[in-house]
Amino acid sequence: MDFRFSDRLKRLPPYLFVEIDKAKRKAISEGRDIIDLGIGDPDEASPKEVIEELCRALQDSKNHHYPLDQGIPDLRIRIAKWYKDRFGVTLNPDKEILVLIGSKEGIAHLPLAFVNPGDVSLVPDPCYPPYKGGTILSGGIVHAMPLLEENNFLPDLNKIKKDALKKARLLYINYPNNPTAAVCEKGFFEDVALFAKRHNIIIAHDAAYSEIAYDGYKPESFLKAAGAKEAGVEFHSLSKTCNMTGWRVGFVCGNEKIVSGIAKAKSNIDSGVFNALQVAGIKALDIADAHTQKMNNIYQERRDALVDGLNSIGWAVPKPKATFYVWTRIPKGCKSSIEFAGAVLKKADMVITPGIGLGESGEGYIRMALTVSKERMQEAVERLRCGVI
């Protein structure tokens, strides 16, 4: 029988991290000792207190039924308190907060609620792939906004083509940024909110890395900017904040109508987050400050080991202020980021992410995740010191 993929599915590029995982598994099956700096999946365990809370919640049969689509009230109330304490932003738990099966699915479902076929999503390039994937699956058109080093990896809103702007319904931003590790100041968020109001565009801010920061830097919330709540929403996740990537607990906050649109799309696709996980999510937010401080100390040690080590062998790598990624140019003499990543895997038994896989403007760069121990970081540097090119 001839089973044909839909045109929308055909338009999707291969998911980069699936391809990276295939290459890694093949190398491991050959008995090679692989240092994986590719996918950003925290290597430390989820907090003990959260695991214990989940075990308690599992024993309560009330948590075994279909969850409420919006998320249990106690978790939404706790999210609102966390936002107030962390950012000084006031949220209505009943109207401005929606619990997600990880922020990824909410980010991808947003276009289904607001983007019609032929509409445009303004997407940073390079970027987290679901910004593009969600747009394509909704029938929308992706318009790339290059993130260039000379502009501190911020999109230049004034350079968006007028034809794209006329059709634009949605604009994604992400700071601290994946993959570039760039940060922004409050003034940028205010400019974005004003831009959205002027052009009647929804802003979707992916703040998954807001709690991973170094050297005293404290990322802000988009929702704190003047006019932001009228213009958009912000996505958060417990994945990076509390080492809970596999748990799939996230949330979106902000404009009531946008939140309700995502909720309507989701209610026709999934049944929400398992209640016991939501109860554990409350505990995660209770301990988030102490946990992230501990993890940031670990990541900062790893960052310094990697960056100082690379610079000692002739690279020129800046130290990121936030995220657990290092984004840097490939060495001179390399033709492409894919070629370099392939050489690193073949000759140094290391997995890194080629920048081109995250967008055309990522060509010439690579991303390395700080998700292995400091000792393995030091070993990675030594493998590169021996010569890959």
Does a cis peptide bond (omega within 30 degrees of 0) precede residue 93? no
- Please count the other Cβ atoms lying within 10 Å of the Cβ belonging to residue 14: 10
Per-residue pLDDT tens for 4-35?
Answer: 888 888 888 776 667 777 777 887 888 888 89
Q: What is the distance between the alpha carbons of residues 321 and 342, in angstroms, rounded to a whole number?
A: 28
pLDDT score, position 9: 84
Q: What is the distance between the alpha carbons of residues 142 and 136, in angstroms, rounded to a whole number?
A: 7
**CA-to-CA dists, residue 3 to 6, 18, 68, 136, 331, angstroms:** 9, 23, 36, 20, 44
- Contact (Cβ atoms closer than 8 angstroms) between residue 126 and residue 147: yes
Per-residue pLDDT tens for 214-264?
Answer: 999 999 999 999 999 999 999 999 999 999 999 999 999 999 999 999 999
User: In the predicted model, what is the mean pLDDT of the chain?
Assistant: 93
The single-letter code of the amino acid at 338 is I
pLDDT score, position 240: 92
Q: What is the distance between the alpha carbons of residues 83 and 115, in angstroms, rounded to a whole number?
A: 28
Nearest to 364 by CA among 373, 374, 354: 354
- Cβ neighbors of 294 (< 8 A, separation 6 or more) are none
Domains of the chain: residue spans and CATH: 7-45+289-385 (3.90.1150.10), 48-288 (3.40.640.10)
- Contact (Cβ atoms closer than 8 angstroms) between residue 178 and residue 323: yes
Q: What is the distance between the alpha carbons of residues 232 and 223, in angstroms, rounded to a whole number?
A: 8
List phi, psi (to 5°) of 71: 105, 150
The residues with which 48 forms a beta bridge, in sequence order, are: none
Residue 343 has pLDDT above 80, yes or no: yes
Among the ranges given (128-132, 298-302, 330-334, 375-379), the one the predictor scored with the smallest mean pLDDT: 330-334
- Contact (Cβ atoms closer than 8 angstroms) between residue 332 and residue 291: no
Q: What is the distance between the alpha carbons of residues 362 and 314, in angstroms, rounded to a whole number?
A: 22
How far is Cα of residue 319 from the mean position of the Cα atoms in its chain?
Answer: 19
The residues with which 250 forms a beta bridge, in sequence order, are: 100, 237
Q: What is the distance between the alpha carbons of residues 15 and 370, in angstroms, rounded to a whole number?
A: 21
pTM score: 0.94
